[in-house]
């Protein structure tokens, strides 16, 4: 089974992380409150409802990866990446990336007013990949190290929280899970780099 992922190219690989340049993407996102586990699970359910037919026309939309989360940081929504999550005093922004074949005009409107669609511009990020569990404490420890490593490499993290991206369903064995932390960078992307197709094949 092929699962679509956002397209990006690798600009440069550093010792512990890589710099990627992502194309513009559209996400469905929702803001949730509570701790990382319960809060992001609620966000996942809302967004899953949208892609499984809780939308204008009852359309089903293909599932993509990853699921992203980032801390809300006192704003209604401040998402900057795939399906992911961020943590903050107000809770988390949880996102699903929409299939690249769909646009803001062709995507159906969500039935749930807590879900909204947003187009993200092309962006340059520092990314680190790891396997294992999804706890908020582990994500934050890795994000802190990534920000430090990026600064040591002469890169400038942009304003805003890191994005915690999860690529696999909960039933995937912990040692096989693909997780990432993404930090948006300020500098303009370079012209060199290797393009990744953004499609994975599950065994």
Is 60 in contact with 51 (CB distance < 8 Å)? yes
Q: What is the pLDDT of residues 7-49, one digit of tens each?
A: 999 999 999 999 999 999 999 999 998 888 888 889 999 999 9
Q: Look at 202 and 100; give whichever has higher pLDDT.
A: 100
- pTM of the predicted model over 0.85: no
Which pLDDT band holds residue 194 (cuts at 50, 70, 90)?
low
Bridge partners, 67 (sequence order): 96, 166
Q: For 49-72, what is the mean pLDDT?
A: 93
Average pLDDT taken over every residue of the chain? 84
What homologous superfamily does CATH list for 2-201? Regulatory factor, effector binding domain (3.20.80.10)
Predicted confidence (pLDDT) at residue 119 exceeds the cutoff of 80: yes
Neighbours of 75 (CB within 10 A): 13
DSSP state of 158: P
> Which residues, including other chains, have CB under 8 Å from residue 105's CB and lie 6 or more apart?
none
Rounded to whole angstroms, how far apart are CA atoms 161 and 70?
Answer: 6
Predicted confidence (pLDDT) at residue 4 exceeds the cutoff of 80: yes
Q: What is the pLDDT of residues 121-171, one digit of tens each?
A: 999 999 999 998 777 888 899 999 999 999 999 999 998 889 999 998 878
Q: Look at 113 and 87; give whichever has higher pLDDT.
A: 113
Predicted confidence (pLDDT) at residue 199 exceeds the cutoff of 70: no
Each domain of the chain, given as residue ranges in start order, spans: 2-201
pLDDT, residue 34, reads 82
Predicted confidence (pLDDT) at residue 97 exceeds the cutoff of 50: yes
User: By three-state DSSP, how is residue 37 classified?
Assistant: helix
């Amino acid at each position: 089974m092929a699962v679509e992922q956002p397209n990006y190219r690798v600009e440069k690989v550093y010792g512990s992380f890589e710099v990627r340049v992502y194309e513009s993407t559209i996400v469905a996102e929702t803001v949730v409150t509570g701790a990382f586990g319960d809060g992001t699970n609620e966000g996942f359910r809302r967004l899953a409802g949208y892609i499984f037919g809780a939308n204008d026309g009852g359309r089903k939309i293909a599932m993509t990866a990853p699921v992203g989360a980032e801390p809300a940081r006192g704003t209604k929504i401040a998402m900057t990446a795939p399906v992911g999550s961020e943590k903050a005093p107000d809770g988390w922004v949880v996102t699903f990336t929409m299939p690249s074949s769909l646009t803001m005009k062709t995507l159906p409107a969500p039935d749930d007013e807590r879900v909204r669609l947003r187009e993200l511009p092309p962006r340059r990020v520092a990314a680190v990949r790891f396997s294992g569990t999804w706890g908020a404490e582990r994500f934050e420890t890795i994000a802190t190290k990534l920000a430090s490593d990026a600064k040591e490499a002469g890169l400038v993290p942009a304003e805003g929280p890191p994005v915690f991206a999860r690529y696999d369903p909960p039933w995937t064995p912990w040692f096989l899970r693909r997780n990432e932390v993404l930090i948006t960078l300020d500098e303009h992307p370079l012209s060199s780099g290797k393009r990744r197709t953004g499609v994975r094949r599950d065994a």
